Each structure stands twice: as structure tokens, then as C-alpha cells.
Amino acid sequence: MRRVALVTGGTRGLGRGIAIALHQDGLQVAAIYRGNEAAARTLQTETGIPVYAWDVSNYQACVEGISQVERDIGPIDVLVNNAGITRDSMFHRMTEQQWLEVMRTNLGSMFNMCRGVINGMRERLYGRIINISSINGRKGQVGQANYAASKAGVIGFTRSLALESAGKGITVNAVAPGYCETDMVGAVPADLLKTIVAGIPMGRLGQPQDVSRLVSLLVSEQAGFITGATFDVNGGQWMP
């Protein structure tokens, strides 16, 4: 029986790449999106991956959405928490709304989504949870106190949930991508982007497949002894 995978933020950028890679690996994949209807329909038309719209920062929406996916497709074996937003600002000008929006989406969604699938995984004694962090959650970034804090929190959350879940056959890992060719990075001003690329030892931005290949490995049966780890995919830009 095919494993069922759910990917948040799964219709664009890194999430789209991850959803397609898992689909090609033979999993039954569902992709969650929030607002870009055109991108969602394009993914569904091109790949056959079903798409679902809900706000991962809203707990009740996650409860209802997960229940719908499980009714349509089956119990969720694999969860990839990829959804994330930025609301950049120097901290001395940052508003409470900018802080809270990022925290609720990037970190609050970890609770909302994992809480909705963890009991089923524990009952079935199997699960794979991959949480997407960021290079800026590792090293910080000017103008991103909210984003960096949320993505650093993802790593602490991952380690704690991994410890709690290991005895139930569930692995929980984090991936911290560097700067990749996505819509989010594409919004960076050209002169700043040039500076960023100059600081990457490999001399290029990452591609979605650079991340999706690692996620495929962590989701696979061969990765059953890997848990609580954070994997950096950043072309050498930051090394712990």
C-alpha cells in the first residue's frame, strides 16, 4: 500500500519540488496551499497531485484539513512542514503584526500540523516528519529577527519531538536550506541578491531539487535510524 505524504506550502518553490519528488518516489502526495490558486491548479494538472487550501497558522483549519485529506486519501504517514512567510523589517521598526504573522505561520504551524497527525503515527508505529528550517535560523539575518527566530524554533521543536517519538517508529528531522531559486528569494533586490550569491562558496543559488533529494532520502525506509538531526543545504555558505 502506498504511503501517504502531506506537504505544506506544496504548490510553489521548494514545496512544489518536494511534492513532485515524493510523487515520483511512489508516494501518494497531497499538497497544501493558502492563496495562489493558479499555481495550485497548475501543479494538480501537470502531476495529478491533489491540492487542498487552508491556513496552516490556524489550528482548527489544520484539524479539519487533515481530516479531509485522510478521508480522501488515507492516513498520513509522511508530513513535510514547508510553509513559511517573511515580513522583513529592522527590529526597531518591526510591528507586532509582522512578528506574530511570521511566528504563527512558520512556527505555530509546526504545532498545528504535527498535532493533527502524531497520534495516528504513534498508533501505527510509523511516521516521517520533515520540518523545513532555514540558514537564517542557524546564523541570523539583518531585518529578519522574526523569521530567524521562527526558523531557529523549528530546530528546537524538531529535536524535542524526535526524542518523544523515536520509540514509536517515528523519525523527525529538519532541513535548513540556504538561498534557493524560489519566489521568496526572487523578491530580493538584484544588488542584494548579487551580494548573497558572492557569499556562497559554490557560487550559485540552490535549486529546489537540491532540497527535495534530501527530503526523499529522509522519508525513505532506508532512513529509519536518522532522527533529531538538522541538515544544512546551503552550498557552504554557513557551516556549524
Domain 4-231 coded CATH 3.40.50.720: yes
Q: Provide the whole-model pTM.
A: 0.95
**pLDDT tens per residue, range 40-90:** 999 999 999 999 999 999 999 999 999 999 999 999 999 999 999 999 999
Residues written for the chain: 240
| pLDDT band per the 50, 70, 90 thresholds, residue 108 | very high
φ, ψ of residue 207 to 5 degrees: the values are -110, 155
**pLDDT tens per residue, range 146-185:** 999 999 999 999 999 999 999 999 999 999 999 998 877 7
Domain boundaries, the chain: 4-231
Determine which one of 52, 126, 147, 179 is catalytic. 147
Instruction: Based on the residue annotation, tell me whether 147 is a catalytic residue of this protein.
Output: yes
- All three cell numbers of 34, joined, read 493558502
Q: Where are the beta strands (DSSP E) in the chain?
A: 4-7, 28-33, 51-53, 78-81, 127-132, 170-177, 230-233
